[in-house]
Chain A
Amino acid sequence: MIELRKVTKEYSKGNAALNGISVKIERGEFVFIVGDSGSGKSTLIKLIMKELNPTEGTIIVNGQNLNRMKHRNIAKYRRGIGVVFQDFRLLKDRNIYENIAFALRVTETPTRIIKKKVPAALSLVGLAQKYKSFPKELSGGEQQRVAIARALVNEPAILLADEPTGNLDPTNSWEIMSILKEANERGTTVLVVTHNQEIVNEMNERVITMKQGVIVSDEQKGGYINED
């Protein structure tokens, strides 16, 4: 599903954010990516999103070689990937319904399908009753749930979550993780970049540990390796 072969990414000459990493993630896997700041986790997400191009190496996602992908095909490719960010990135001037419908509108989904899909996505994250609320009227946990609903509404094959619990308390963090796990159980491949040791250790999923641009550990049912 996602394969990186000897991928290096240098932002400037001799300054590698990723240094020749190779990794393979199969369809339907749930994977944590952990590591200190500057270890290359976010760069990895950006490469998978085709927001950046690798300096060296090959990236294959859903059978498509990203190195050879033409600019005009990037939008279509990204529709197969959902993204969730630490800071939610909701549109503050639109209500919850509009925030989720936005993801469908800009991908040219017919209105009648939008009307069906948005309430379903809101129900999935337990916010069906709050569809008229604006982001500022919701708690951090609720906002992140809206962001997940928006990421999932296009039914992507892959869900990338960059520090999804970074701004949340433990209770909300667990709620978010259980929603991500449910999505995974429905068949979505989930990649979670996190610093949350407790969650990583409790969930007992595959853990890829990165340090200074290289993968130092890759364990099925692994735990958080504390470098300190």
Chain B
Amino acid sequence: MRISTIGYVGKQGVKNIWRNKMFSLASVATMSACIFLFGLFFSILVNFQYIIRTAEEGVAITVFFEEDATDEQKEEIGQQLAEHEGVADVNYVSADEAWEEFQKEYFGDNPELAEGFKDDNPLASSDNYEVYMETMENDDQSLVARSRSLSETQNELVEFAQGLDGVREVNKSDVVANTLSSVNTLVAIVSIAIIVILFGVSIFLISNTVTMGITVRKEEIAIMKYIGAKDFVVRSPFVIEGLIIGIFGAAIPLTLLYFLYDRAVQYIMTKFSILQNIIDFLPVGTVYQILLPVGLIMGIGIGFLGSFFTVRKHLKV
């Protein structure tokens, strides 16, 4: 393949777009809308995950000891818990600390009520381990798998802790873990469904544009075939046309979203200032580390596949 031929087919691809201005524009616009929506869902999803992850870090199980458990036993239990898969941190809470925490939580407003206990700690045998689970931040698992595994890991850990010598009781926060997991799963499934539909719509539109281009250039294609142009030379301009539409269809929404993201975050934080202490959004740079390559690959991929298969179907050379 000569460089001049590559240049020629490239130029023809650009000319195709110009000849089919309206259709090309419609394709770019629709693809832009699709990738914009994808970007939007993606941004929501990763932020949601980020929020969940932050919340997950607070999800813990509490391990209480038998009354006659020795310090050695307690230490052994702590070591075994720390070594268990999925455990991020094991924190020993002494009976005094537990009592202090209790007082703060329940007698915070009326400290005089706690004074009745004086130096007699009613939670004397309530020293425990708070066990925090890993958030799987660096895990390669899919979104759905990740959200499911949270409650599974917790259950497994509870069973493990209950089986240890010297353990009296294990408390877990089922509600928090399960609610987070199910919301996360729902968001993931809805997002994937919407993305699949958008993919389909984009491919259909690119295919239509290329079909229109082939129809308009039927005469030229026939002449090319008579003259002895190779399949590659006949087909390439249409595939290039699809690729260019794909590149623009991805670049426009990704640029738009980049600038809108910060503004949207600012707007939400100003409008709903109550969220400031609860929610922390990811910076746009972090979101774009994944969104940019994925969005570009999607655009180019849809452009290529849409045109390639249409050309194969409609262009018998």
Contacts and interface: CB of A to CB of B under 8 A. Distances in A.
Q: Are A and B co-members of a single complex?
A: yes
A77 B227 CA distance: 10
Interface residues of A, number: 22
B229 interface: yes
Contacts of B230: 75, 108
A25 interface: no
B224 interface: yes
B2 A154 contact: no
A111 B4 contact: yes
Given A105-B5, A110-B2, A78 B224 contact: no
A80 B228 CA distance: 8
Contacts of A111: 4
Please classify the interface of chain B as helix (H, G, I), strand (E, B), loop, or mixed, using the class held by over half of its residues.
helix
A76 interface: yes
Nearest to A107: B228
B85 interface: no
Summarize A's interface: helix, strand, loop or mixed. Answer: mixed
Contact of B228 (A72, A77, A102, A150): A77
Contact of A108 (B2, B219, B222, B231): B2
B4 A91 contact: no
Contacts of B107: none
A49 B228 contact: no
A78 B5 contact: no
A64 to B, nearest CB: 14
Contacts of A89: 219, 222-223
A110 to B, nearest CB: 6
A103 B1 CA distance: 16
A79 B226 CA distance: 8
Contact of A76 (B2, B220, B228): B228
A133 B229 CA distance: 25
Contacts of B267: none
B223 A91 contact: yes
User: Could you say which of A77, A78, A81, A105 has the most chain B C-beta atoms within 10 Å of its C-beta?
Assistant: A105
17 contacts: A72-B231, A75-B228, A75-B229, A75-B230, A76-B228, A78-B227, A78-B228, A79-B228, A80-B228, A89-B219, A91-B219, A91-B220, A102-B227, A103-B227, A106-B8, A108-B230, A150-B227
- Top 6 nearest A-B pairs (CB, nearest first) are A78-B228, A79-B228, A106-B229, A108-B5, A75-B230, A75-B228
